[in-house]
């Protein structure tokens, strides 16, 4: 394979080095393009543009492969628990017992939130979308943890990391409790990370909390499946904001806002709303398939398609199987599961979808499990954020430790050429 790429423009030839990744992905290094050729590249949505070299997550969209630090997502989802995977993503290795115990305890030490934060949460109307509340609370945390901002040493980064891993589940749970008019409580730090999250979300003041282990296992698996996904929209946002050294919490707050969008993490909420709409409309999946293909119709098949996966999203396969298991274990019947399966079957046989390689993505079935676990639909994307938190942290840490430059893309200007100012009276 050649070590350089040649660009010919205006009768001149330019050579650029080629970077080859672990799995033989090839990138043309254009760092010197503008300096040597006076040219820039243009790539709206960065469909062909790599922003960084990263050792955290590998995706093969054609083969439907997803690995965290080299470990297959199928293995991690089956054999690991969420905090183990969080440690793996952030620090690069599966933790030893001692490392996991220290990590867990350091997080527990930080699993309280300043009482004043309740006043900020109080200021939101109950109708506020949890993702907007969570983005705001995450940013507000900075005021109570100023030492988490200027973190250039690994030690200071570690302190900020365990702080947010401890406090984020509290903020997420409080966001739900506020909507349910329940007192803002703490869980029980003798419980595991995921069970404690579930307890904080659902414990009732006048009832003994108990939960089916199947629920915690399902939640743990879903969080693992959402934990990282290389340079997706929200992770790229975290990297971009982090590149200005705005601090970890500010970067995460921006990432939460990016994830909220229905084209990204907000799709899990949009999928259930779409399935409910189809059910209310009589369950005619074929009618909605036609709408999804009609360019004049704004309707899209939410939970379908992906920028990278042009084959099955491996997470969707695991979640689909888990949906059957969890609903069976909990004895939950959900008619929209059959509608989802009907849509998937029809889409996989439909030329429009087959030609465009549109398959179910991580968001297509996840909401069905969240709903079976009693999680309200407006909290689905918060669950995605809880899962993605360690991935965002890992990517932010990698970017800062590599001392990457501030992100500042170029543009091609297509506006007015220079023109003289006209006084108001003469316009």
Classify the C-alpha dihedral 392-161-248-408 as positive or negative.
negative
> What's the alpha-carbon Rg for the chain, to the nearest Å?
23
Distance CA 401, CA 422 (A): 51
Q: Restricting to residues 26-55, which ones interact with ligand SDX according to CB under 6 A? A: 45
Q: Rule CB under 6 A: is residue 307 a binding residue for ligand SDX?
A: yes
**Among residues 80, 88, 157, 362, the one that binds ligand SDX under rule CB under 6 A:** 362
Q: Rule CB under 6 A: is residue 67 a binding residue for ligand SDX?
A: no
**Among residues 57, 148, 253, 361, the one that binds ligand SDX under rule CB under 6 A:** 361
Nearest residue (CB) to ligand SDX, 103 versus 365: 365
Q: Which stretch binds ligand SDX (CB under 6 A): 18-26, 142-150, 201-209, 361-369?
A: 361-369
Q: Which stretch binds ligand SDX (CB under 6 A): 202-210, 211-219, 319-327, 353-361?
A: 353-361
Nearest residue (CB) to ligand SDX, 139 versus 361: 361
User: How near is the Cβ of 158 to ligand SDX at its closest, in Å?
Assistant: 25
**Among residues 163, 179, 306, 400, the one that binds ligand SDX under rule CB under 6 A:** 306
SS3 of the chain: helix, strand, coil, percent, to 5 = 55, 5, 40
Residues comprising the chain, all counted: 427
Phi/psi of residue 73, nearest 5 degrees: -60, -35
Classify the C-alpha dihedral 165-168-172-178 as positive or negative.
positive
- Cα–Cα distances (Å) from 171 to 83, 102, 212, 383, in that order, read 18, 23, 23, 12
Q: Rule CB under 6 A: is residue 267 a binding residue for ligand SDX?
A: yes
Active-site residue flag, 129:
no
The number of residues that bind ligand SDX (CB under 6 A) is 22
Distance CA 66, CA 230 (A): 10
Which residue of this chain has its Cβ atom nearest to ligand SDX in the complex? 305
Spatial CA neighbour of 245 closest among 405, 410, 134, 53: 405
Q: Rule CB under 6 A: is residue 385 a binding residue for ligand SDX?
A: no
Active-site residue flag, 281:
no
User: How near is the Cβ of 97 to ligand SDX at its closest, in Å?
Assistant: 30
**Among residues 66, 201, 358, 394, the one that binds ligand SDX under rule CB under 6 A:** 358
Distance CA 270, CA 44 (A): 25
Q: Rule CB under 6 A: is residue 278 a binding residue for ligand SDX?
A: no
Burial environment of residue 224 by CB neighbours within 10 A (0 to 12, 13 to 18, 19 or more): buried
**Among residues 166, 303, 387, 390, the one that binds ligand SDX under rule CB under 6 A:** 303
Spatial CA neighbour of 357 closest among 103, 61, 138: 61
Q: Rule CB under 6 A: is residue 334 a binding residue for ligand SDX?
A: no
Which of these is catalytic: 226, 228, 306, 313? 306
The 8-class DSSP code of residue 313 comes to -
Classify the C-alpha dihedral 195-196-198-203 as positive or negative.
positive
Which of these is catalytic: 81, 228, 313, 363? 363
Distance CA 303, CA 271 (A): 6
**Among residues 30, 85, 292, 385, the one that binds ligand SDX under rule CB under 6 A:** 292
User: How near is the Cβ of 229 to ligand SDX at its closest, in Å?
Assistant: 3
Report the C-alpha dihedral over residues 387, 391, 393, 399, rounded to 10 degrees: -160
Phi/psi of residue 58, nearest 5 degrees: -115, 130
Q: Rule CB under 6 A: is residue 379 a binding residue for ligand SDX?
A: no
Distance CA 263, CA 267 (A): 6
Q: Rule CB under 6 A: is residue 286 a binding residue for ligand SDX?
A: no
Task: Record the tokens describing residue 296, joined without a space.
Answer: 């004049």
Q: Rule CB under 6 A: is residue 302 a binding residue for ligand SDX?
A: yes
Q: Rule CB under 6 A: is residue 301 a binding residue for ligand SDX?
A: yes
Nearest residue (CB) to ligand SDX, 111 versus 361: 361
Q: Rule CB under 6 A: is residue 305 a binding residue for ligand SDX?
A: yes
Binding residues for ligand SDX (CB under 6 A):
45, 229, 232, 263-265, 267, 292, 300-308, 356, 358, 361-363
Active-site positions? 306, 363
């Amino acid at each position: 394979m050649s070590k350089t790429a040649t660009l010919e423009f205006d009768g001149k030839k330019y050579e650029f080095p080629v970077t080859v990744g672990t799995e033989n992905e090839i990138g043309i290094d254009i760092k010197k393009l503008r300096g040597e050729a006076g040219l820039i590249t243009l790539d709206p949505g960065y469909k062909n543009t790599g922003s960084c070299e990263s050792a955290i997550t590998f995706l093969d969209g054609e083969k439907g492969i997803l690995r965290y630090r080299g470990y297959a997502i199928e293995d991690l989802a089956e054999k690991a628990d969420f905090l183990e995977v969080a440690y793996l993503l952030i620090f690069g290795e599966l933790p030893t017992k001692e490392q996991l115990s220290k990590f867990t305890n350091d997080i527990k030490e930080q699993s309280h939130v300043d009482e004043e934060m309740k006043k900020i949460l109080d200021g939101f109307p109950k109708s506020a979308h949890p993702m907007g509340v969570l983005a705001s609370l995450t940013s507000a945390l900075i005021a109570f943890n100023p030492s988490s901002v200027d973190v250039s040493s690994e030690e200071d980064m570690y302190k900020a990391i365990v702080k947010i891993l401890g406090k984020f589940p509290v903020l997420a749970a409080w966001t739900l409790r506020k909507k349910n008019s329940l007192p803002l409580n703490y869980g029980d730090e003798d419980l595991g990370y995921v069970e404690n999250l579930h307890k904080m979300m659902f414990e009732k003041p006048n009832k003994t909390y108990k939960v089916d282990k199947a629920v915690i296992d399902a939640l743990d698996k879903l969080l693992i499946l959402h934990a990282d996904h290389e340079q997706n929209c929200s992770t790229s946002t975290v990297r971009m904001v982090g590149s200005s050294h705005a601090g970890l919490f500010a970067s995460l707050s921006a990432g939460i806002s990016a994830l909220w969008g229905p084209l990204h993490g907000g799709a899990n909420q949009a999928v259930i709303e779409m399935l409910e709409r189809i059910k209310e409309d009589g369950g005619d999946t074929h009618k909605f398939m036609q709408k999804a293909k009609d360019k004049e119709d704004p309707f899209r098949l939410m939970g379908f398609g992906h920028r990278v996966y042009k084959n099955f999203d491996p997470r969707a396969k695991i979640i689909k199987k888990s949906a059957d298991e969890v609903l069976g274990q909990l004895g939950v019947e959900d008619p929209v599961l059959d509608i989802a399966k009907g849509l998937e079957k029809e889409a996989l046989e439909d030329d429009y979808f087959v030609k465009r390689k549109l398959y179910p993505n991580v968001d297509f079935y996840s909401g069905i499990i969240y709903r079976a676990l009693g999680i309200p639909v407006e909290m689905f994307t918060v669950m995605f954020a809880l899962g993605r938190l360690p991935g965002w942290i890992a990517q932010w840490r990698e970017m800062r430790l590599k001392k990457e430059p501030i992100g500042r893309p170029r543009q091609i200007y297509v506006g007015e050429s220079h023109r003289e100012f006209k006084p108001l009276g003469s316009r």
